[in-house]
Amino acid sequence: MSLRQAGWQSTLASIVLLAGTLLTQATAAPDFSLEKVADGIYVHRGQQQDATAANGGDIANIGYIVGDRCVAVIDSGGSLAIGTALRDAIRRATAKPVCYVIHTHVHPDHSFGDAAFSDPATVFVAHAEYPAAMAARRDGFLANLKNTLGAAADGSDSAAPSLLVSDHEMLDLGNRRLSLQAWPTAHTNNDLTVFDERTQTLWTGDLLFVDRIPVVDGRALGWLKVMTALRALKPAHLIPGHGPVQHDVDAAFAPQRQYLDQLISSVRAALKAGSTLAQTVETLGNQLPQKAWLLFDDYHRRNVTAVYTELEWEN
Ligand SMILES: [Zn+2]
């Protein structure tokens, strides 16, 4: 080996070492990245995992929309730290105030960063069924968060919404109209979508899961109907509750529709055959779907149980 070669190798080794150090730093303190979806619309993509101490509960898609007058936040994230990271990113990007924090539904990965936005001028918006749903589950959600995150959960909480939507509501951010729609029971009993008229962007909340298995915490049959209505809006861009942003509405909903259709028809067949809940969960829980969903083992059996309970009293 020549001296020249040895020199290069040593430089190379330094670069590899430096890259390794940077990688370690990036892993230890993940930055809060935002993706521009359309003019004035930014989303932070949560990780496609369940909440853990390592990911800090950063598992849901959250973000914001900027109007001429003010900013609307769509979901505040799974903890105070995540809500704060979103708030700070907004402050760096614009001097306009946050006038609305809009909740797509009650689940804690979307709603426990509210305290970062506590300001008398900020209006919290949610489905009319949200307050009762949160009141019934808040203590459990908080206990789970504390178990998962430990001290990092401190200060995380949901705020009481002061603007409730029971059907439809228009919000104006200044030359930018948002159409809010409260839906009948689907993913949950309090799903609310936000449609930005200017860019035809639809924030679906968890009415759309991409790649990650959909979770039925409401009614699968209701969810199928809501998906049909959402398709009719013909959005140019869709921001799901979990997974990458979509630009083709039919392709976006197809895998989820197929999964729910298959779940419903197989549970119906089991009920018709007189299977008990336990037998049905045992049989269908082991059947693999056509698509390989992330977190399938964590949620599929729960979905079988939910749909069995939903369809049990069908005639
Ligand atoms: Zn959800």
**4 CA distance to ligand 1 centroid (A)?**
59
Burial-class residue 238 by CB neighbours within 10 Å (0-12, 13-18, 19+).
buried
Question: DSSP assignment, residue 200?
Answer: T
Distance CA 130, CA 151 (A): 27
**6 CA distance to ligand 1 centroid (A)?**
56
CA distances to 64, 107, 212 from 113, rounded to whole Å, are: 14, 12, 22
* 225 pLDDT higher than 90: yes
Tokens representing 251 are: 């392709």
Burial-class residue 179 by CB neighbours within 10 Å (0-12, 13-18, 19+).
middle
Distance CA 93, CA 71 (A): 11
Residue 182: helix, strand or coil by DSSP? strand
Tokens representing 217 are: 């915490």
**41 CA distance to ligand 1 centroid (A)?**
21
Distance CA 133, CA 105 (A): 9
Burial-class residue 135 by CB neighbours within 10 Å (0-12, 13-18, 19+).
exposed
Residue 68, pLDDT score? 98
* 22 pLDDT higher than 60: no
* 187 pLDDT higher than 90: yes
Does the domain at residues 30-258 carry the CATH identifier 2.60.120.650?
no
Tokens representing 157 are: 């909480």
Report residue 291's pLDDT band, with 50, 70 and 90 as the boundaries: confident
- Percent of the chain surpassing pLDDT 90: 86
**107 CA distance to ligand 1 centroid (A)?**
5
**130 CA distance to ligand 1 centroid (A)?**
12
Residue 15, pLDDT score? 44
**60 CA distance to ligand 1 centroid (A)?**
9
**105 CA distance to ligand 1 centroid (A)?**
7
Lowest mean pLDDT among 27-31, 264-268, 291-295: 27-31
Residue recorded with tokens 């809940």? 277
Average pLDDT, the chain: 91
Distance CA 53, CA 159 (A): 23
**205 CA distance to ligand 1 centroid (A)?**
7
- Strands ordered across the beta sheet of 168-172: 168-172, 177-182, 192-196, 201-209, 237-242
The 10s digit of each residue's pLDDT in 147-168 is 999 999 999 999 999 999 999 9
Question: Which amino acid makes up residue 287?
Answer: Q
Report residue 14's pLDDT band, with 50, 70 and 90 as the boundaries: very low
* 6 pLDDT higher than 70: no
The 10s digit of each residue's pLDDT in 77-120 is 999 999 999 999 999 999 999 999 999 999 999 999 999 999 99
**208 CA distance to ligand 1 centroid (A)?**
9
